[in-house]
């Protein structure tokens, strides 16, 4: 019967053209639902003679199967397309940098600290740390700076209010130097000790070459038989590697620090080139760091025997090292957070210092 063939052609056409799942469902109800056109045809089978049923049954059932299959196929296709569209909409492309996003860079102070850690690691030094909020004993007393010592006044210390206490001994302060890490290290480790301690320090002072917070790096070696020669070799090796020049010349000047005996201030030589000071050679001298042999009293305060152990220590401003190496002239710019400055002097995040690549490369 052509009306079955016609109905099938019309039904499959409508299902194929359905643009949404709702339309497919509407077609299903129209054709296969209780009142549906195909259902109505199926119902006519009951009233047929066995002969009619034999010939019509397969045609009507064939129609129903074709319609059901078309509906299932269209439904699957629309669902697949909906999923594709949703995945496309929710897709996040992590593989490309966003074009106008500001990019971070490594601050010169961090870069220099990494360079120092790399250089000293090569000489067998570990990195040690200590708290920035220190107590008076670690920052001063154990370093042979008793309460009445004039050196305390020189440090322009930030103290925390401590109304309950008569003496300064237990009071808290912002550490004025990294030297208290010497004390903490000697108390917690047995010799041989070889450490550097980089970190923030605080003093109430502010001008073009001083900021209330700045960075130091402390060095400490404690073992049997350590002498001034070890100190000089260590500093020379360190500074040649840091400034990446073999013609670095050091001058040790007698000086005074309460925690070292003898004490030496270390100057580094420079030459004049086109009106600029370039490190290397010895036409002039720049003061660079403080150092000395650890005072026996400091060794004893940490519970070690100064007759058995000796050692050297040094302390140097990290910001100053960065200024000298990378040619910056105002310390305050280090802490202004000015992106233009950082873009000019900053380092790429993946530019990790290595000795093989040249630490400052």
Pick out residues in 171-190 that bind ligand DAH (CB under 6 A).
Answer: 177, 179
Regarding 292 and contact with ligand DAH (CB under 6 A), the answer is yes
By the 8 A CB rule, do 122 and 194 touch?
Answer: no
By beta-carbon proximity to ligand DAH, the closer residue of 125 and 257 is 257
Residue with tokens 């010349």: 249
Buried b (16+ CB within 10 A) or exposed e, 245-283: eeebbbebeeeebbbbeebbbbbbbbeeeeeeeebbeee
| Interacting span for ligand DAH (CB under 6 A) from 4-12, 286-294, 327-335, 340-348 | 286-294
By beta-carbon proximity to ligand DAH, the closer residue of 14 and 293 is 293
Regarding 315 and contact with ligand DAH (CB under 6 A), the answer is yes
**Which listed residue (38, 313, 318, 342) binds ligand DAH by CB under 6 A?**
313
| Interacting span for ligand DAH (CB under 6 A) from 49-57, 107-115, 288-296, 336-344 | 288-296
Report d(CA 327, CA 341) in Å as an integer. Answer: 13
For residue 166, the minimal CB distance to ligand DAH (Å) is 27
By beta-carbon proximity to ligand DAH, the closer residue of 71 and 145 is 145
| Interacting span for ligand DAH (CB under 6 A) from 87-95, 126-134, 310-318, 334-342 | 310-318
Regarding 141 and contact with ligand DAH (CB under 6 A), the answer is no
Regarding 234 and contact with ligand DAH (CB under 6 A), the answer is no
| Interacting span for ligand DAH (CB under 6 A) from 144-152, 278-286, 289-297, 338-346 | 289-297
Q: Is the dihedral of CA 92, 95, 96, 102 positive or negative?
A: positive
Q: Which residue is nearest to ligand DAH (CB)?
A: 315
Pick out residues in 17-56 that bind ligand DAH (CB under 6 A).
Answer: none
Pick out residues in 214-233 that bind ligand DAH (CB under 6 A).
Answer: 218
| Interacting span for ligand DAH (CB under 6 A) from 94-102, 132-140, 309-317, 330-338 | 309-317
By beta-carbon proximity to ligand DAH, the closer residue of 10 and 156 is 156
Task: Determine whether the annotation assigns residue 261 to a binding site.
Answer: yes
**Which listed residue (258, 269, 280, 290) binds ligand DAH by CB under 6 A?**
290
Regarding 314 and contact with ligand DAH (CB under 6 A), the answer is yes
In the annotated binding site, the residues are 261
In the annotated binding site for Mg(2+), the residues are 261
Binding site for ligand DAH (CB under 6 A): 177, 179, 218, 257, 260, 290-292, 313-315
């Amino acid at each position: 019967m052509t009306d079955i063939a016609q109905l099938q052609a019309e039904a499959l056409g409508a299902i194929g053209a359905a643009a949404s799942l709702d339309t497919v469902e509407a077609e299903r109800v129209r054709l296969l639902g209780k009142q549906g056109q195909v259902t109505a045809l199926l119902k006519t089978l009951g009233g047929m003679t066995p002969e009619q049923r034999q010939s019509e049954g397969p045609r009507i059932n064939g129609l129903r199967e074709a319609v059901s299959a078309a509906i299932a196929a269209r439904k699957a296709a629309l669902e697949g397309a909906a999923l594709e569209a949703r995945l496309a909409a929710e897709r996040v492309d992590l593989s490309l940098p966003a074009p106008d996003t500001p990019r971070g860079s490594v601050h010169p102070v961090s870069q220099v600290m990494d360079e120092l850690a790399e250089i000293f690691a090569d000489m067998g030094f570990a990195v040690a740390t200590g708290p920035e909020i220190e107590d008076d004993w670690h920052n001063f007393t154990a370093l042979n700076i008793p309460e009445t010592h004039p050196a305390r006044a020189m440090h322009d210390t930030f103290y925390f209010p401590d109304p309950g206490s008569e003496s300064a001994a237990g009071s808290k302060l912002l550490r004025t130097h990294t030297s208290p890490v010497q004390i903490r290290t000697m108390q917690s480790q047995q010799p041989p000790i070889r450490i550097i301690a980089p970190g923030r320090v605080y003093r109430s002072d502010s001008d073009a070459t001083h900021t209330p917070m700045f960075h130091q790096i402390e060095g400490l070696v404690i073992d049997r038989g350590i002498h001034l020669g070890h100190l000089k070799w260590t500093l020379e090796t360190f500074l040649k590697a840091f400034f990446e020049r073999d013609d670095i010349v050091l001058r040790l000047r007698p000086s005074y620090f309460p925690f070292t005996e003898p004490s030496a201030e270390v100057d580094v030589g420079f030459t004049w080139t086109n009106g600029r000071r370039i490190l290397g050679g010895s036409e002039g001298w720049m003061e660079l760091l403080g150092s000395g042999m650890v005072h026996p009293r400091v060794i004893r305060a940490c519970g070690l025997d100064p007759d058995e152990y000796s050692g050297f220590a040094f302390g140097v401003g990290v910001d100053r090292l960065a200024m000298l190496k990378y040619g910056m002239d105002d310390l305050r710019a280090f802490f202004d957070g000015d992106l233009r400055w950082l873009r000019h002097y900053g380092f790429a995040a993946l530019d990790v210092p290595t000795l093989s690549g040249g630490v400052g490369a």
